[in-house]
Amino acid sequence: MRFVDEYRDGEAVRQAAAAIASMQTRPWTLMEICGGQTHSILKFGLDQLLPPALTLVHGPGCPVCVTPLERIDQAVDIAARKEVIFTSFGDMLRVPGSSKSLLQVKSEGGDVRIVYSPLDAVKLAEENPGREVVFFAVGFETTAPANAMAVWRAHELGLRNFTVLCSHVLVPPAIDAILGAPGCRIQGFLAAGHVCTVEGCEDYEPLAAKYGVPIVVTGFEPVDLMAGILACVQALERGSATVENAYKRSASRAGNPHARALVRRVFETCDRAWRGIGVIPQSGLKLRREFAALDATRRFDCGHIRTDESKECIAGEILLGHRRPPECAAFGNECAPDHPLGAPMVSAEGACAAYYAYRRSA
Amino acid sequence: MSDQTPPDPSQWSCPAPTQASDTVQLAHGGGGRLTQKLIESVFVPALRNPALEVLHDGALLSLPPGRIAFSTDSYVIDPIFFPGGDIGSLAVHGTVNDLAMCGARPLHLSAGFILEEGLPLADLRRIVASMGRAAAEAGVAVVTGDTKVVDRGKGDGIFINTAGIGIVPEGVEIAPTRARAGDLVLVNGEIAVHGIAILSVRQGLEFATEMVSDSASLHELVAAALDVAGSHLHVLRDPTRGGVASALNEIATAAGVSIELEERSIPVNEAVQGACELLGFDPLYVANEGKCLAIVAPSHAKAVLDAWRRHPLGKDAAIIGQVREEPRGRLVLHTRIGARRIVDMLSGEQLPRIC
């Protein structure tokens, strides 16, 4: 298949692996920031081809995993209301809140629907003027433009029955928090290619300079990932700490100006709690005051919600790359995709789910 | 004396005419006149055969010698009409295939209908006609049936249950426990087509290529494989819900073996691959309705492959993997870049990802 097969070519991957092995003179530890990259690495088995002295640490770039428990509980609370049609991307539905998931709400009679585009939720609101349509706007910079478009469209249409429950997060502040954390062992970063396709690469330049680490913009297919890893190892070996773009077929330095403008028109940055990690300053997006009428937390009173996180889940340490999923005592025992303790075991991009799916006794 | 003639009651007509509805009514399931009318006007003409036309409480059948295979399945698909089929043809194909996967020649089906009040009779006629065609093509007869009607809002238009019996010829021994190390794994064509076709119409997803379900009766492919491989054909399975990955995991567990798949050998067409990429689905877990997995002794695998490729439903058949001893109970994928990973049973349904 064009645009897929050439980036999954075994020969090209093996050549890159050989180039990495021949160039590496000492152990290096890299973090791939995005959960999609983590899944690709484990799904295709790229880590099996890399030299043992190269360690890949999995980052917090899974929007489902880092959405705070409080937001999930709010979603569950709102979705259970009779007047509400609650819409969400598919992989949010299984994430456990304090007491239940959105899928459980659905089974109990809540009107919870999967949408493929936030604009589908806007359309639902137009078609159902007697119902309150709520869209769960989660994700990184990648989903922000489409979600901003939905808010903008609802605003333009003057829809009074459409709101978003917003929990957007941003990558650069998270990298800042990870590199600034005491005991950080990350020496190089693979940045998420699709995030940079939207937002460009400029925001990473001050981070590379501040912490003296190379940051390589990297794609998601095996050949893309190996190219990113190779570029990062090359930079480490020559001692350079700059931003490089190994995903030029999609990402540019300036990003997509139209998408960026729309996101800034609708959202502004705010402090945001990341599940398992805590509050990271200026790491989230919230609706600007002009669009406050479209904010679900204002439309629905959720003040009574008290969250209760599982004590056994070490998601924070997993998400920060301090520990790997198999090092968790609950992994594969108390915690499995059928009965998850934390979000990383649920999400299609969660590191624990990736290890569970692809790596048990392989 | 009046010249008025006395009224003749035999000439009176009832002012309330009999309701001729074009939708299913509760009374259609009540066992009375409307039920009878439904049977006579819809079911019997489309499914006609001597055993059914007796209209008795059950069918009396004479069976050829051999062991009897018996299977049942219920069909609840939404939407009821989809590219490449409908709930009626699916209900025939599904049970015919379940029997075929036992190595049986499918012979007779029963059909139970649960109809929701308000279902257009035209839809019901179309579905039953499609069942009739699918049954004729598969060489099976629908010999007995039942209809119930539930209140509007308590069903989803129509649910169908079919059960079927078939005869397993002498010498045929198909069972998941018969998979043994060295056997080769075959599939008769491109996987994941049905699931993606249904999803695309259910969710209104538009792709450049229209996705058409692969729903089909597989008994001829099974017969062709048995002809050339006989008792060397060890396992058959139609990978419906849960896809190829779930079916092979079940076999690996049942037989206490490992099954290793070669990723690059698994036929997936480009449109399906594209849709899966977009949605974050793995085609190995997507449902099929016209696919058959066969596990065959290595000595006879090529013969089965050739026989399948000569059949229209098997022209894209391929050998996709091999049974091994270890790791027991596991399905392992040899990825196209040369690494290995396990392919587990799915937890719940595949859900479209965020980005």
A137-146, A322-331, B85-94, B97-106: the lowest-pLDDT one: A322-331
Average pLDDT over residues B61-66: 92
- Of A36, A114, A357, nearest to B351 by CB-CB distance is A114
Question: Model confidence at B11, in pLDDT bands (50, 70, 90)?
Answer: low
Q: Which CATH number fits the domain that encloses residue B85?
A: 3.30.1330.10
CATH of the domain at B238: 3.90.650.10
What ipTM does this complex have? 0.82
Q: B79-106 b/e with 16+ CB inside 10 Å = b?
A: ebebebbbbbbbbbbbbbbbbbbbbbbb
Residues B200, B139 within the same domain = no
Secondary structure (DSSP) of A116-184: SSHHHHHHHHHH-TTSEEEEEEEESTTTHHHHHHHHHHHHHHT-SSEEEEEEEE-HHHHHHHHHHSTT-
Domain identity same for B126 and B190: no
The domain boundary residue, chosen from B168, B188, B217 = B168
Topology classification of domain A5-61+184-245: Rossmann fold (3.40.50)
Contact: B336, A10; criterion CB under 8 Å: yes
Of B337, B354, B355, the CB nearest to A8: B337
**Structural domain count of chain B:** 2
B279, B335, B355 member nearest A194 (Cβ):
B355
Give the domain extent around B260: 176-342
Domain positions in chain A: 5-61+184-245
Residues of chain B with Cβ-Cβ distance to A41 below 8 Å are none
Last residue of a domain, one of B168, B186, B215: B168
Beta carbons of A44 and B280 less than 8 Å apart: no
Q: Are strands B233-237 and B105-116 parallel, antiparallel or unpaired?
A: unpaired
Please choose, from the candidates B239, B245, B262, B226, the residue with its C-alpha nearest in 3D space to the C-alpha of residue B337: B262
- Asked if residue B318 and residue B207 are part of one domain, the reply reads yes
DSSP bridge pairs for B115:
B149, B158
Question: What whole-number distance in Å separates Cα of residue A122 and Cα of residue A131?
Answer: 12
Cis ω before B327 (30° cut-off from 0) = yes
Residue B15 lies inside a defined structural domain of this protein: no
Hey, how many other C-beta atoms are within 10 angstroms of the C-beta on B133? 14
The amino acid at A239? G
For residues B265 and B306, give the distance between their C-alpha atoms in angstroms, rounded to a whole number. Answer: 16
B83 lies in the same domain as B187: no
pTM attached to this predicted model: 0.87
Question: And the tokens for A174?
Answer: 């998270």
Decide if B327 touches A, using CB distance below 8 A. yes
B162 lies in the same domain as B250: no
Quick: pLDDT tens for A94-151. 888 888 999 999 999 999 999 989 999 999 999 999 999 999 999 999 999 999 999 9
pLDDT band (50, 70, 90) for residue A18: very high
pLDDT tens readout for residues B196-211:
999 888 877 777 778 8
Place of tokens 């069918």: B59
Cα distances from B65 to residues A101, B101, B104, B168, B224, in angstroms, run 54, 19, 12, 9, 21
Whether residue B355 is predicted with pLDDT greater than 70 in this model: the reply is no
Would you tell me how many other CB atoms lie within 10 Å of the CB of residue A269?
Answer: 15
Task: Give DSSP secondary structure letters for A294-308.
Answer: GBHHHHS--TT----
Could you read off the pLDDT of B263-273 as tens digits, one per residue? 999 999 999 99
Q: Is there a contact between B343 and B249 (Cβ–Cβ < 8 Å)?
A: yes
A155 confidence band (pLDDT: 50, 70, 90): very high
Give domain status of residue B353, yes or no.
no
Helix orientation angle between A35-44 and A222-238, rounded to the nearest 10 degrees: 110
CB pairs < 8 Å spanning A and B: 101
- Strands A84-88 vs A132-139: parallel, antiparallel or unpaired: parallel
Q: Are residues B230 and B186 in the same domain?
A: yes
Tell me the pLDDT band of B1, cut-offs 50, 70 and 90. very low
* Better-scored residue on pLDDT, A347 or B19: A347
Confidence of residue B334 (pLDDT cuts 50, 70, 90): very high
Number of other residues whose CB lies within 10 A of the CB of residue A208: 24
- How many residues are listed for chain A in this entry? 362
Show which of B134, B152, B168 is a domain's final residue: B168
**pLDDT, greater one: B17 or B27:** B27
